[in-house]
Structure 1
Amino acid sequence: MKKNVAILMGGYSSEFEISVQSGNVVHKHLDRNLYNPFRVYITTDSWFHLDENDKKHSIDKNDFSLTLNSKKIEFDVVFNIVHGTPGEDGLLQAYFKLIDIPQTACDFYQAALTFNKRDCISALRPYNIPTATNYFLNKGDVIDAKAILDTVGLPCFVKANKAGSSYGVSKVNTEAELLPAIDVAYKEDDEIIIESFLSGTEVSVGVITYKGKDKVLPITEIVSENDFFDYEAKYLGKSQEITPARLSKEDTKKVSDLALRIYQILKMRGFSRSEYIFHNGEPHFVEMNTNPGFSEASILPQQALAAGISLKELLTNTIQETIAQRN
């Protein structure tokens, strides 16, 4: 019997439209022989199913059910592809845990931890994971530009702590650029992380749960036409994404082993895509995405295809792993 799958998309952040694109790709490639897919939009105003005629049907948040033609539909599994809050920061994960519906993303604690760049780096620090030097700010803190730059140097990056798709990120080359960059970051979040500049090859590494095992996918090298891998580079074609990356066997093993180690230290499951920069010849961890972009041109689907895994196979495996773990 086919499983009812709710494909969650949208969310409450600036990444809403990117998430909708990802959700529609999942909807397109889900195996209709195995699953009945339902597009479910998560918005600040309402949660609703959008049917094939683009008609909205409300979701009952009490049990996450849907009524169509006077028939109640319950979901066997949720495919969570909401980028940002509430799909990537643990809120939806906790909700589905409470009402006992399996969902494809990592668990709520891992989601909350990895979504918070500062907390994630702090959790990894005892394991001697190489990262940039960083400085933390909360909205309302006194901004001591000298202390910040004495710590991280120039150039540096100012980032919103809990945001994705490079929203709220600026590269700072001079002291005069620091305060405007902080203002940009505060528009996305009330917490900021300021990081030293890492110079070197940037790569993205997908690690997934596949056929019961943790699997590192072929690595993608990021070559941005802009000053860094910003929104334009990610989504508007201002970058080259080269899979597999042009790395030596030694460097490929280094970053693959590091990515797998971090995935397992954090007790992850499902999809993840983490970013690294080879600084002074060593891969340095930048951040992890637990609901990475999933358009057909996105990095993780590219990596899966390079590993010989079609989108349909990847989606089927993810749902099967999710249901099996619950059972």
Structure 2
Amino acid sequence: MKKNIAIVMGGYSSEVNISLTSGNVVYKHLDKEKYNPFRVHILKEKWVALDDANNEYSINKNDFSFILGDHKITFSCVFNAIHGAPGENGMLLAYFNLIGLKHTSAPFYQMALTFNKRDTLSVVKEYGIKTAVSIYLNKGDIIDLDIIIDKVGLPCFVKPNNAGSSYGISKAHTKEEILPAIEKAYKEDSEILIESFLDGTEVSVGVIQYKGETKVLPITEIVTENDFFDYEAKYEGKSEEITPARITEEEKIKVEKTAKKVYAVLNMSGFSRSEYILVNCEPYFLEMNTVPGLTEESILPQQAQAAGISLKELFENAIETSLNAL
């Protein structure tokens, strides 16, 4: 008997349209002979399931079901394709945990932890993982530019602590550029991170659970036309993503070992894609994305393809791993 699968997409953040695109790609590639997939839009104004004609059916939040004709539709598993809140920050996953519904992401605490850049960095540092030098600010804190520059130097990156897709991130080259960068970051989040610039090769590393094992996918090198890998570079063609990365065998081994260690120490499961800067053959961890883009052009699907894993296999594996979890 085919299992009903909810593909949740949308969300409450600036990444809503990116999430809708990812979710529709999952819907397109899931095996309809094996599953009954339903797109479910989780939006601030409504939670609705869609049929093939895009008719909307309200989700009952008591058990995450909906009524289709004379039938009540319940789900065996949720495929999480929500970038940002509430899918990537753990909120929605905590709800699924409460009602006993399985999902393809890591447990809600791990999702909340990895969505918070500062807290993630504080954990991995304890395990000897190299990171950039950073300063953390809450909105309303006194800003002393001289102290900031003395600690992190110039240029530096200013970024929201809880946001994705490079929204709100700036690279400040001068003292005068720091305050405008801080204001831009505060538009996305009330907590921000200011980090030192790492001069090296940027790589993106996908780590997933695949057929019962933790698998590091082929590494992608990021070469951007812009000053850094910002939203325009990620989504508007202003970057080159080279898989496999043009790095030495020694660098490859070190990055793979570090990425697998980070995945383990953060108690991750499901999808992850982390960013690193290689400086003098040493990988420096930047951040982890636990609901990476899932379009045909996105980095993690590119990496899966390089590993010989189709999108159909990638998505089915995520569902079956979830269904078979204790």
Residue 248 of structure 1 and its aligned partner are, at CA, apart by 0.9
| Preserved contact between residue 250 and residue 281 of structure 2 (Cα < 8 Å) | no
Residue 280 of structure 1 and its aligned partner are, at CA, apart by 2.9
Residue 123 of structure 1 and its aligned partner are, at CA, apart by 1.0
Give the secondary-structure state (helix, strand or coil) at the position aligned to 1:254.
helix
Mapping for residues 123-272 of structure 1, pairs under 5 Å: 123-272=123-272
Give the secondary-structure state (helix, strand or coil) at the position aligned to 1:60.
coil
| Preserved contact between residue 9 and residue 41 of structure 2 (Cα < 8 Å) | yes
Per the alignment, residue 292 of structure 2 pairs with: 292
Per the alignment, residue 309 of structure 2 pairs with: 309
Give the secondary-structure state (helix, strand or coil) at the position aligned to 1:177.
helix
- Which amino acid is the alignment partner of residue 92 of structure 1? L
Identity score, percent: 63
TM-score, normalization: structure 1?
Answer: 0.99
Residue 51 of structure 1 and its aligned partner are, at CA, apart by 1.5
For residues 128 and 144 of structure 2, the distance between their equivalents in structure 1, rounded to whole angstroms, comes to 28
Give the secondary-structure state (helix, strand or coil) at the position aligned to 2:4.
strand
Residue 279 of structure 1 and its aligned partner are, at CA, apart by 1.8
Count of aligned pairs: 326
Residue 227 of structure 1 and its aligned partner are, at CA, apart by 0.3
Residue 55 of structure 1 and its aligned partner are, at CA, apart by 1.2
- Which amino acid is the alignment partner of residue 176 of structure 1? E
Deviation >6 Å, runs of 4+: none
For residues 261 and 141 of structure 1, the distance between their equivalents in structure 2, rounded to whole angstroms, comes to 34
For residues 211 and 54 of structure 2, the distance between their equivalents in structure 1, rounded to whole angstroms, comes to 35
For residues 110 and 268 of structure 1, the distance between their equivalents in structure 2, rounded to whole angstroms, comes to 6
1:143-178 Cα deviation digits (max 9, x unpaired): 111111111000000000000000010000000000
Mapping for residues 7-46 of structure 1, pairs under 5 Å: 7-46=7-46
For residues 126 and 160 of structure 2, the distance between their equivalents in structure 1, rounded to whole angstroms, comes to 24
For residues 293 and 287 of structure 1, the distance between their equivalents in structure 2, rounded to whole angstroms, comes to 15
For residues 309 and 295 of structure 1, the distance between their equivalents in structure 2, rounded to whole angstroms, comes to 14
Give the secondary-structure state (helix, strand or coil) at the position aligned to 1:250.
helix
- Cα RMSD (Å): 0.6
Higher mean Cα deviation, 317-326 or 234-243? 317-326
Give the secondary-structure state (helix, strand or coil) at the position aligned to 2:300.
helix
For residues 6 and 55 of structure 1, the distance between their equivalents in structure 2, rounded to whole angstroms, comes to 15
Per the alignment, residue 56 of structure 1 pairs with: 56
For residues 30 and 256 of structure 1, the distance between their equivalents in structure 2, rounded to whole angstroms, comes to 29
Higher mean Cα deviation, 121-130 or 181-190? 121-130
